Structure 1
Amino acid sequence: MDWGALDNDLDAVPGTVSVCTGPLAGPPTYTRLPDATHYAASTMKAAVLAALYRSDVNLDADVPVHNVFPSALSGSYGCTREYDSDPAVWERLGGTAPLRWLATRMIVRSSNLATNIVLGHTGLPAVAKVWDQVGARHSVTVRGIEDAVARKAGIENLVTAADLAALVTAIAAGAPPNAAGHSTPTSTASAGPDAPRHATDPPRSGEGGLASPEACRAMLDVLLAQERREDLAAGLPPDTPIAHKNGWVPGVRHSAGVVFPDDAPPYAIAVCTTTDLPDEEACALLARVSATAWAARRA
């Protein structure tokens, strides 16, 4: 399937499908409604991860594992065990766990409980700074997971495909090569302060990187360890490295990451879907988009 055929495929989908994909250095190779806003679901956890790794918090410190969090509006709230996809964090409820471990569970198993605990140590303003740092135009993280009071008041976490692509690009672009040889390009900011900014561009020189090279490398390694591989990863050849975070609720399936081919430069891909499709079909749709981007990786 080429991009034209993909367009026809996506035109037939009931709802909104947004795509932004391209090399880490330079303009996107394909976009579709890249600035349309979607409910963030768990993709906001990638921004929370960046906020934590940008902070001066001791990641190896043991912190309480609790389930009472201040609402973004008023009062407090907690997560629902049955709604969480990771039982491992709940097994430590009432005890302690290292922040680094909680941050990892937040990504690789999309733990809601871990997310709210980590968010309590970063604060919402720090996450807002992450979005600002990567040049996000529309994405916001304004409440924790299952903050029902804030949600009923219309306080919602939002993302776009372009902003998610910019976030994962900034993480990958800031990371030095690791022992496995997963290398990433540096910022393409040499075009100057007035040059047009592309959705997949990392922060420009002079703006500062998203985090230190060591922190970006650590974040990238967490994203590479993602265990939920039923959408973007499903469209790639087996064992292809992809550093990504996905998110889902009924009617919503998103995923954003950086793919590391062994025969082409790495590329970012973000797909957001707000549709009437069952989740299994939405996952298959993301896999088709991913497969098309893979086929175009050397174009």
Structure 2
Amino acid sequence: MTNYPKISFLICSLFLICACSNRMTLNKLKNQVNSKLAEQPGDFAVAFKDLTTGDSLFINEQTFFHAASTMKTPVMIEVYKQAAAGIFSLNDSFTIKNEFKSIVDSSSFRLNADDDSEKELYRHLGEKRTLYELVYDMIISSSNLATNMVIELVNARNVTQTMRQLGADRIQVLRGVEDSKAFDKGFNNITTANDLLVIFEKMAKGEIVDSTACQAMIDILLKQQFNEVIPARLPKDVKVAHKTGNISHVYHDSGIVFLPDGRKYVLVLLSKNLKNEEQAKKAMAEVSELIYKYVTGAEK
């Protein structure tokens, strides 16, 4: 007579052993990541989530960082939200300008093209560009000029409010770029690794505005021109929809990684107080590679 209770016990035992093995593998990954980042002077945060298995890894995920240009993803989200509400169309045209008001006292300030990663737009002041083109430049080439125009249109307060509605409770978007009076008073855009993970996960699942808007945002993020961290050490057939951010002694990368088999995961890597930014970027790229290997099974 078959001993079903004994077989069931053995199956359950094997399942528990496998589960423990997977947990140990994730713990090993965390140790590897910590070890890699410890090689570099500075402070780091990591947030990772496999959207297929739910596996996740968090290091300093609630620590505040200067958002730098990672705040441009929340700004893009607000654009698509307001466009869906009929406030404007992404096809609407706006005159390119280089004069903005400080959030401190409404005094005027201008951006310096030499300090911007995208300089072409400055050659077309007085001409018109569609809102879509401004958002595109804001993301793929991190244009500060386009960013300030877009933030002026959607209002930074609305961006932060939308982040709260999405469950990103600590991201704060106060202002555009190069508002020196605000900077001097400590009025800065801030973020955490966890909050960026929250919004990218929702985007990956089509839960921001609607699935069409999410795909449109992902399509822009996929054309990112700065690829020195998350995508740097990944195979060419792996696609990354992401946004970087950097200021002095700070470098970030954040986005969605799409594997050729259809699986995807979210990865956020933040850093500050860096002594050697190039070496830190290299280390973060190696962390991205470690996580890719974990997801694809190369580390199991």
TM-score (norm: length of structure 2): 0.84
Instruction: State the 1:25 CA deviation.
Output: 5.9
Q: Percent identity?
A: 30
User: What is aligned with 1:168?
Assistant: 200
Instruction: State the 1:15 CA deviation.
Output: 2.0
Tell me the matched-pair count. Answer: 265
User: Is this contact kept in 2: 1:234–1:287, CA < 8 A?
Assistant: yes
**Pair 109,280 (structure 1): closer, same or farther in 2 beyond 3 Å:** same
Question: What is the CA–CA distance in structure 2 between the aligned matches of 1:15 and 1:229, rounded to whole Å?
Answer: 21
Q: Which has the higher helix share?
A: 2
Instruction: State the 1:167 CA deviation.
Output: 1.4
Question: What is the CA–CA distance in structure 2 between the aligned matches of 1:272 and 1:244, rounded to whole Å?
Answer: 13
- Give CA-to-partner distance per residue, 1:31-57, whole Å, 9 cap, x none: 110011100110000010001011132
| Corresponding position: 1:71 with 2:102 | yes
Q: Which amino acid aligns with 2:153?
A: H
User: Is this contact kept in 2: 1:59–1:99, CA < 8 A?
Assistant: yes
How do 1:1-299 residues align onto structure 2 when only pairs under 5 Å count?
Answer: 2-24=29-51, 27-56=54-83, 57-74=88-105, 75-174=107-206, 209-263=207-261, 265-298=263-296
Q: Which amino acid aligns with 1:118?
A: V
**Pair 79,24 (structure 1): closer, same or farther in 2 beyond 3 Å:** farther
Instruction: State the 1:28 CA deviation.
Output: 4.9
TM-score (norm: length of structure 1): 0.84
User: Is this contact kept in 2: 1:258–1:268, CA < 8 A?
Assistant: yes
User: Is this contact kept in 2: 1:18–1:33, CA < 8 A?
Assistant: yes
Q: Which amino acid aligns with 1:68?
A: E
- Give CA-to-partner distance per residue, 1:267-295, whole Å, 9 cap, x none: 00000001323222122122011101100
Structure 2 unaligned blocks of 5 or more: 1-27
Structure 1 unaligned blocks of 5 or more: 175-208
User: Is this contact kept in 2: 1:133–1:210, CA < 8 A?
Assistant: no
Question: What is the CA–CA distance in structure 2 between the aligned matches of 1:161 and 1:28, rounded to whole Å?
Answer: 16
Question: What is the CA–CA distance in structure 1 between the aligned matches of 2:112 and 2:121, rounded to whole Å?
Answer: 12
Question: What is the CA–CA distance in structure 1 between the aligned matches of 2:185 and 2:263, rounded to whole Å?
Answer: 44
